[in-house]
Structures are given as structure tokens and as C-alpha cells.
A and B are shown apart, each in its own frame.
Chain A
Amino acid sequence: MMRHRFLAPLLAAGLLACGAARAENTLTPLHFQSDGWRGSIDKAAAQRGFAVYQSVCASCHGMSGLHYRDLEGIGLTPEQVAGIAASIKLADGSAATPDSLFKPPGAVNMGGAVPPDLGAIVAQRPGGTRYVYEFLTGFGPAPDGMTLLPGHFYNRAFPGGQVSMPNVLRDNAVTYADGTKASAAQEAADVAEFLTWSSDPDLAERHIIGLRTVIFFALLAMVALAAKRRIWREEG
């Protein structure tokens, strides 16, 4: 797009900042690269998060609207995407292609509760990314005096405190390709970043374009105001 020409140095500075964030420990204190008005998707974390989604979440939760080819948005190469798709058996028995939609889960019924679709879950829950992390790490023993409904589990982040979903994330539930230690908290943070991307794939582009557009129109507004004042002084 034509806007890419504007303020290229600014973009370069932004990219450098993104690169620096990758090596950090994002768990203590908890923070996400997608946070804030300049946030962008941490692609390495989102790729790890996809691995968690695929091996842990996907058996019960759908991911509506996404095609496997869309994974190129978190930095996977077309070859990697083709490999991922080829390893997935669709309902009709054929292998998925990069152009297939994410495979919907089989019918799961947790005692009447239907697992929600995760495609836009971060946009649909107050607290977004942080809520997903708090929820996934919020399981534990129920406090004294709280009686759980049958088939329910205590979760301090869930409204009401009890939920039909069991605690599914454990240390080393997946093996990360990039060598990151797969603690349960790391898995939760990574899957939260992946779901942030799936809810809002244009987050990074929106922030970059937004910053450039705001600067452009701020300058234009100043020029236009100066021109207006001058014309009004002479003619008004």
C-alpha cells in the first residue's frame, strides 16, 4: 500500500522495539506484546500458542473463520503451513489443505455446557488477553465453604468461580519447537497471545497504520490551520 512510504524510519524504530521484546521473560511481571496502543502480536509466542491450541484446546473448542493459510500471519512459512495442514485429518477422512478452514471439534458436551468457539474469544470477554491467561492459570482447590456443582471445577477468574472445563494445561503438555520451557503458565500466556491474534489479526497493522495516519493528519491539520488563519487575516 502507498502508506508504507510514509515515515519509514519510524516504522523501523518500531520493528527494532518489537525485536527486543522477544527475548524477555513475559511472565514476571505478566505482560503481552499485544498490550497497549502500540501493541503487536509476538509471533514466536503466537506460534507456540498455536501448538498449545492444536494439541490441547482443539479437541473441544472450534476456531471459526480461520483457514490454515491464515497462520502465515503469525510468521509461519507456506511450507510449514502446508505441513501442518497435511497432518490434520478432516471429518471426511481427507487431509486438510492450507485453504481448509480450521477443523471443527467433534460434539463435546460437558454436562450441558458447550465449549465456546475460540475464534474471537479475546474480543468477546472483558479483560481479553489477560482474562484468557488468568482463566487458564486460575484453577485450584475451591475455597472453604464453597460447594461446587457436580462436574464443575473451581476457577478464580471465571465469573461465579466454577466452570465445566477442567484444568487442561500442565507443565510440558507440549514440546516447544523453539526450545522454550513449557511451563503451564508459559503455555497459558502463549495461547493467550495466539487467541489475541485470532480475534484481531490486524492488531499490529492497525497500530502501525494508525500511528502513521495520525501523524500525517496532525501535520496536515497544522498546515491547514495556518493557511486558514492567513487567508482569514487577509480576506476576513
Chain B
Amino acid sequence: MTTETKQGGPRAATPCLAGLCAGLMRRDLAPGAPWLSTLPVLLGAVLALLLASGMALAVFYDPRAAQASLRFIALEVPAGWIMRGYHVTGAGLGFVLLYVHLFRMLLTRGYRGPAAAGWMLWVTLLAALLLAGWLGFALNGGLGGYWSLIDAISASLALSGPAGGVAMWFFGGAPGDGTLARLLVFHAVLGVAAAGLLWLACAATRQARPAPAGRMVAFWPVYAAQAFAALALLALVFALLMCFAPHWGQGAQSQLPASSLAVPAAVSYPWYLTPLAGLTALFPGAGGHALAVIAAAAALYALPWLDRSGGGAPGGLYRALTWLLGLDVLGLGLSAVCPLAAGLQILLFVWFFIHFLVLTPAVTAMEAA
């Protein structure tokens, strides 16, 4: 301690920088982390790109002429099509990273014990990004987004009591000229909030790390090299999607202009909203939709306490069931794209809750014994 303070000099002049360097060089990380552990870094990079391109888009976007102003951006703004590409592809790829990371946390039981706070922040991040994604879908001004928004507002107008009050506060009353302007602000605020949530979630996960034991490595250069290589691969995939499949996963109606006369038989959602759409499809009205979403979120939040295992590696049965849950979520998403038989739809919905509320406690308790 004393020697360090006496050395002082240039380091003392930039204590922040020195602290950061020391933090990056501190050998307190277990070696050999898998590639998938870089997902939070990649998600952070995608979020930063979304914020940057979102700022540039917001300069030219006109909520009163949503799709026309997006066409204006593509035609008249320098590099405007690149900004749209960043935002659209970034949203799609960001959700890939987020879903895979959450699935990996489930599979490795990364939500248990001291990591529970981190897990809950990740679930909150998912909720924030899904809401931001849905608002972006509406802001796009396509036929699907327009009708999804109109349906949501009309259903909320029918709600009474505090729930109706909250919905009216959010949407600002009946759909009108100002609706998209209001939702644009929420969309942007949620984007910034998501960046903060990601930082908090990573900080909480770091806090929950086991104490250093055995031979440890530092972030620099070991994990910096891994993160850098992962970022380069991400950029490669990003460029491929953005330049050669610009409408990837956006839903069939995203290009059609919003129209109050053309009512689609069913709204086609961007792929990342389809699991949510499948989850809510069984319950009519805003009340039912909200109930299904709240129940699903509650099951995810409660997961650290539903897991009855004391510790140790997850067993084979638990892993198999988690893979089954992944298929279940994929099936729910599929049900929003092409209608499934009613029985199958109910099974997919019920399985989601059985997995968390019945199977997880039972199997983890059994495997712990």
C-alpha cells in the first residue's frame, strides 16, 4: 500500500485510467471460458450500434408520416440506408444474442444462488427489449405494426380500473397523430435503459463469481483476444445479413404501407416478437394478453427459488427438459407465424408454465437427492 502511494507520479494523475488498467490486468478470472461467454459483450456492442443508428434515424424520422419518412431516410439522407440497416439488422441479431444467452443461463443454471440478482436483471432486460422491439415494429409504419398498435390501444381502451389507467398513460388515449411521437420517446428511453440494464446485469454476474482459486488469468490479453475475435465474427455475420438479406425476419407486412382500410387477416410479427405473440394468443383482449405476459415474466423471475437443487452440475434430465423448453418457445413462435391446431397451441402454452412451476422444482429436487 505505502509503496504504491509513494510511487504516485503519472499514475496518480489519472487514477481512473490506472484503476481500469489494473482491473483489466488483475488475474482473477478462471481460464478457458467458452465462446458463448462473450455473448454479453456482443450484445453490448449491438446495443451501442442500435443507440448510435437510432439517434441518426431520430433526427430525420417523422412520427406523423412514419413510413414516408423512412423512405425519405433511405432516399435522401446520406448513408440513410446504412442507418436503417444497422437498426433493423441490429434488432434482429441482438435478440438472437439475448435469447441464446438466456437459454445458456437456463442450461447451465446460471440463475442460482448469488447469481439470482443477475438473472432477474437479465429477465428485466428481455422485457425492456421486447417492449422496445414492439414499439419499433409499430414505429416502422408498416401494415403489421400499424394494426398491432391499433389492436393494442383499442383493447386497452376497454380496460377499466388501474390497468386501464396505466394503459392510457402509456398510449396517451385513442390512437391519433401524437401516438407515434409519444411511443418514439418511450422507444428511445427503453433503448438507453436497456444499455444500463445490461451493464447492471453484467456487474451483478461479476459480483456472483466464485472467489479466485487455483491458476487464474487476467482479462487482458486472454479474454480481450477472445472478445475481439467474437466481435469480428459478429461483424461478419452482421454485414452478411444487412447487405444481402436486409428484410430478414421482419415479417411479411413490414414493407406494406400502414392503411386503415386494409385489415390483415393476422398481423405478421418480426421473428423476435413471435414467442411473445404465441404466448398471448390464447387470451383475448388486453387484460388476457397482459395476464399471460405477467404470468410468464413471474415464472422467469421466480426461477431461482423454483430450483430446489443445492448446488452441483445440472443433471441430464434437467438439461433435456431445458432443451424441450427451448423447442416449446420455438413452437410458440411458430404458432404466431402459421396457425397450429388449437390443442397443440394450448399444449405449448401450458408446457411453458409446467416446465417452470412443476418440472423444474421436481426434477432439481430429485437430482439433488
Chain A contact residues, CB within 8 Å of chain B: 37, 64-67, 70, 117, 119-120, 123-124, 126, 201-202, 205-207, 209-211, 213-214, 217-218, 220-221, 223-225, 227-228, 231-232, 235-236
Contact = CB atoms under 8 A, between A and B. Distances in A.
B232 A224 contact: yes
B75 A124 contact: no
A37 B68 contact: no
Interface in B92-135: none
Given A123-B255, A124-B256, A235-B217, A65 B232 contact: no
A209 B236 CA distance: 13
Contact of B229 (A64, A66, A207, A221): A221
Given A67-B75, A124-B257, A231-B225, 5 more contacts: A126-B252, A205-B81, A210-B244, A211-B243, A213-B235
B48 interface: no
Contact of B71 (A65, A210, A225, A231): A65
B222 interface: yes
Interface residues of B, number: 33
B74 A231 contact: no
Contact of B244 (A65, A207, A217, A218): A207
A202 B212 CA distance: 53
**SS class of chain B's interface: helix, strand, loop or mixed?**
helix
A227 B236 contact: no
Nearest to A114: B261
A214 B72 contact: no
Contacts, number: 88
B229 A209 contact: no
B242 A221 contact: no
A223 B239 CA distance: 18
Given A70-B75, A120-B71, A236-B32, A228 B243 contact: no
Nearest to A201: B75
Nearest to B215: A236
Interface in B264-319: none
B236 A120 contact: no
A213 B75 CA distance: 22
Given A65-B72, A235-B222, A213 B243 contact: yes
A210 B229 contact: no
Contacts of B239: 210, 213-214, 217
B246 interface: yes
Contact of A228 (B31, B75, B228, B247): B228
A227 B229 CA distance: 8
B236 A217 contact: yes
B244 A225 contact: no
A206 B76 CA distance: 16
Q: 8 nearest interchain CB pairs?
A: A210-B243, A224-B229, A221-B232, A217-B236, A228-B225, A213-B239, A65-B71, A202-B81
Given A66-B75, A119-B71, A231 B232 contact: no
B232 A214 contact: no
B226 interface: yes
B263 interface: no
B243 A206 contact: yes
Contacts of A70: 75
A223 B229 CA distance: 8
Nearest to A217: B236
A168 B252 CA distance: 29
A35 to B, nearest CB: 13
Contacts of B221: 231, 235
